[in-house]
Chain A
Amino acid sequence: MATYDGLFDALGLRAWCDKGADSGPMSMADLLAKTKGDGAATVSAWDTPFPSLDALHDACMAIPQSRDLTQGLESGFLGIRDALRWVIDPITQPLSWMLEDMLWLMTQSPWWIVMPVLFAITWLVSRSWKIVGFVALMLGLLAFVDHYHEAMQTLAIIFVCAFVCVLLGVPIGIAMSRNDKLQRFVIPILDMLQTLPPFVYLIPLIFLFSVTEPKLYGIAIILYAIVPVVRLTDLGIRLVDKDVIEAADAFGMTNRQKLFGVQIPLALPNIMAGVNQTIMMSLAMVVIASLVSAPGLGVLVLRGIRNLELGVGLVAGFGIVVLAIALDRVTKASLARIDASQASR
C-alpha cells in the first residue's frame, strides 16, 4: 500500500502498527486516497515521499500525524493557560490601568493643554527651541488634517510602553553587566525577541488575554521594544573605561557608589541611545498592535488596507512618519546634550 510498508514489515513492527490502526479519524488525504482506489500502491522511486510523520503514518497507524503535533501544542497551551493566566494576569494588570489612564488623559484633556505640555516636555529634555518649534510644526500639521485624536492615542501608548521598557530594561541591563552568567543566559532571549516576527508574539497573547484588554498589545509592544535598552545598558556599563573603574576601586568606593557615581553616569549616552531605539521600536509595533485593538494611527492604516481606502491609509502612514521623526529628534537632542556635557574622549 504505502511506500514505507516494507520498512515496518522488515522491522517486525507490523503487529504494533496495526494495534493503533483504528485510532484517530481519517484525514482528508486519506479519504481522497480511498475514493481514488488503491491505484497508487506502486510509487516510482522518483515520487518517494520524505519519511515525514504523515508518510510514516500511512504505513503504520501507530505513528502520529503532523496535525497531532500542532493539536498537541494547542491543547497543551490551553491546558496551562489558566495557570499561566492566574500568575500573569495580576502582574500585568497595572499595565492595563496605566494604558487606560494615559489614553484617557491624553485624549480627554483639551488640545490647548496637551500640546503645550508636550512642548514643555520637549524643551525639558532637549533644551533647544529649534526642536520645540519642529515638534510644534509636526503636531500642528497632524492636528490640522484632523489626525490629532489618533496621534495622541498612539503617543499615549508609546509613552507608557517606553516608560515600562526603561523601568524594567535598565535594571536588567545593569544586572547583566555585573554577571557574566546572567548575560550568557539573557542574550539568546534578547536575540529571539528581536528576530521573531512581531506577529508571532501576538498569537499566544491572544489566547492568554481577551482582545478588549489594553495589556494585550501593551505586552506585545514591550516585549518587542525592550531589547535595545537592555542591550545598550549592558554594553554601556561594560564599556566604561577600566582605568576609571580602577581609580574608583583604588579610592575605596563601594559597589553602590561605583554604580551610581561612575558606571551609570558614564554609560548614560549608551543608555539614552537604547531609549531612543526603544521608542522607535514601540512606534513600529504600535501599528502592528492595532490588529489586536490598539487604538491610534495604526487603526487608520489598517482601515486603508482592509477597505482599500488608499487616501486614509496614506495620510495615517504619513502621520506615523511625522511622529517617528519628532520622537527621534527629541530623544537624539537629549542624547547630544548628555554627550556634550561629558565629552571625555
Chain B
Amino acid sequence: MSNNDTATMTEARDESLPEDDARRPVKVSIRNLYKIFGEDPERALEKVKAGMGKPELLESENHVLGLSDINVDIRDGEITVIMGLSGSGKSTLIRHLNRLIEPTAGEILFKGDDILGWGQGQLRELRRKNMSMVFQKFALLPHRTVTENAAMALATRGISRSEYEDEATKWLDRVGLGGYGDQYPHQLSGGMQQRVGIARALASNSDIMLMDEAFSALDPLIRTDMQDLLLELQGELHKTVVFITHDLDEALKLADHLVILKDGSVVQQGEPQHILLKPNDPYIEDFVADINRARVLRTRSVMDKGVPKGEGSGDYAGDVDQNDNLESVIARAEGAMDKRYRVMKDGKPVGTLKMTEIMKALVPRKVEG
C-alpha cells in the first residue's frame, strides 16, 4: 500500500479523525464505483456524473441509480459495516466485491489488482478461496445435510467427503452446532440455520467474509447471541469482515469502520464514535438521535488527550480504560459532576476525562450551518 494511496484515502475521510492506532493495510479498495440499473446505463452515467440525483434519474430517464461514486477502503482484519436505509444500495455494493453484480464504472482493487479485468476462472478462484458470503435468508442448500452445507466451499473445490468432513464438523462445533451434522436445514430454527451459514463461510477458510444483513431475520435475543459470536470469532481469527445492516445499534457494536449510505452515495464514513459525535448530515443526525449514547460512546472519544505533567495523580478520582463506555464511568462517579478520571491505554495514561465533558457528549450535536 503506497503512501500516495493513504493520503487520498484520509482526504476522502474526515480530517479530524480521532487519533487512530497504526491503521491496518487496505485489503479491498473500491474506487469511484457507479452502478446504474436500466436499459442504457452508459448514457445515464453521463447524467449522473453531471450531477443528477437518484429521484430525478428515475423520473426523467427511467434508470435506477444503484451506486454513485463510491470510495471505500476495506482494511485487513477489521469489521467494516455498511449501513443505510432500505434501498440505499447496501446489497448492491457488497455484491460488487465478489462481482456477483457488474459495475457500470469504477474499480475494485483486491490487494491492488482490479478484479474487473479478471476472467471467469480467476473470479471463481477468488470466490472459492478469498471471499465467502453469509446471506440474510441463509440460502442453504435444502437437499443437503448440515455437514454438506457447511462444507459447500470445500466440496466445490473438489475435496472429497472423507477429507472435508472433519473440517466441517470442526466449524459446526465452533458455532455451537455440534451433533446436528446429519440434520437437514429445514429441521433447524432460523438462528441455527444462520449458524450453518456462518460455519459454511468459516469452513471455506477465506480471509474475507461478506455478510449481507446476516442477522436481520433473527429475533433480538438470538441476534445479540450471533453478534457476540461474530465478535468472539473475530477476536480469534481476525478475518476481514464486511457487514451490512440497517440497525445502528448493531453497526455500532460491530464496526471498526462505519460507512453510511444514502440513495446510493456515501454520506459519511469513519470511526463509529466519531460519526456519532460529529455527524455531518441531517440524515445521520436522525439516525443517531435515538440511541443510548452513554452505552455506545467510549472514554477515548470524549477525553482530552494527554496527561498534564505537573499535577499529581491525586487529583484524579481514579483510572478508567480507554475502551470503557461512558455509562460505566457515570456509575463509578455515582453521578458526581466535579470528578475527573485518568484514561489508560495498556496501563499507560493517555488522557483526562472530566465528568462535564461526559455530560456534554450525551447531548446529540446538531450539524452547524
**Contacts from A to B (Cβ < 8 Å):** 241, 243-244, 246-254, 257, 261-262, 265-266, 341-344
Contacts and interface: CB of A to CB of B under 8 A. Distances in A.
Main DSSP-derived SS at the A contact region: helix
Interface in B119-155: 123-128, 131-133, 135, 137-143, 152-153
Contacts, number: 64
Contact of A252 (B124, B135, B210): B124
B98 A250 contact: yes
A254 B157 CA distance: 10
Nearest to A249: B100
B80 interface: no
B201 to A, nearest CB: 9
Contact of B132 (A251, A262, A342, A343): A251
A254 B156 CA distance: 8
B137 A251 contact: no
Contacts of A344: 142-143, 185-186
A261 B139 CA distance: 14
6 contacts: A244-B142, A247-B135, A252-B126, A261-B141, A343-B142, A344-B186
Contacts of A241: 139
A254 to B, nearest CB: 7
A248 B140 CA distance: 9
B141 A251 contact: no
B184 interface: yes
A243 B156 contact: no
B240 interface: no
A243 B137 CA distance: 7
Contacts of A253: 156
Contact of A250 (B125, B133, B141): B133
Given A246-B139, A250-B98, A344-B185, 17 more contacts: A241-B139, A243-B139, A244-B141, A246-B135, A248-B141, A249-B100, A249-B127, A250-B133, A251-B127, A251-B133, A251-B156, A251-B200, A251-B204, A257-B156, A342-B184, A343-B142, A343-B186
A343 B98 CA distance: 31
Please indicate which of the listed interface residues B98, B125, B152 has the most CB atoms of chain A within 10 Å of its own CB: B152
Nearest to A254: B124
Nearest to A257: B156
In the complex, the 8 A-B pairs of residues with the closest C-beta atoms, listed nearest first: A344-B142, A252-B127, A252-B128, A247-B139, A243-B139, A250-B133, A342-B143, A252-B124
A334 to B, nearest CB: 16
A246 B262 CA distance: 25
Contacts of B124: 252, 254
A253 B123 CA distance: 11
Contacts of B185: 344
A325 B83 CA distance: 58
A342 B152 CA distance: 17
B125 A252 contact: yes
Contacts of B100: 246, 249-250
A26 to B, nearest CB: 63
A78 B300 CA distance: 94
A250 B100 CA distance: 7
Which of the listed residues A243, A252, A257, A344 has the most CB atoms from chain B within 10 Å of its own CB?
A252
B75 to A, nearest CB: 22
B156 A262 contact: no
A223 to B, nearest CB: 33
A204 to B, nearest CB: 43
A244 B139 contact: yes
Nearest to B204: A251
A343 B186 CA distance: 7
Contacts of A249: 100, 127
B186 to A, nearest CB: 5
B312 to A, nearest CB: 59
Contacts of A252: 123-128, 153, 156-157
A342 B142 contact: yes
A252 B143 CA distance: 19
Contacts of B184: 342
B143 A265 contact: yes
A258 to B, nearest CB: 10
Nearest to B123: A252
A247 B133 contact: yes
A214 B339 CA distance: 102
Contact of B152 (A243, A251, A266, A343): A251
Contacts of B132: 250-251
A236 B127 CA distance: 27
A266 B142 contact: yes
Contacts of A254: 124
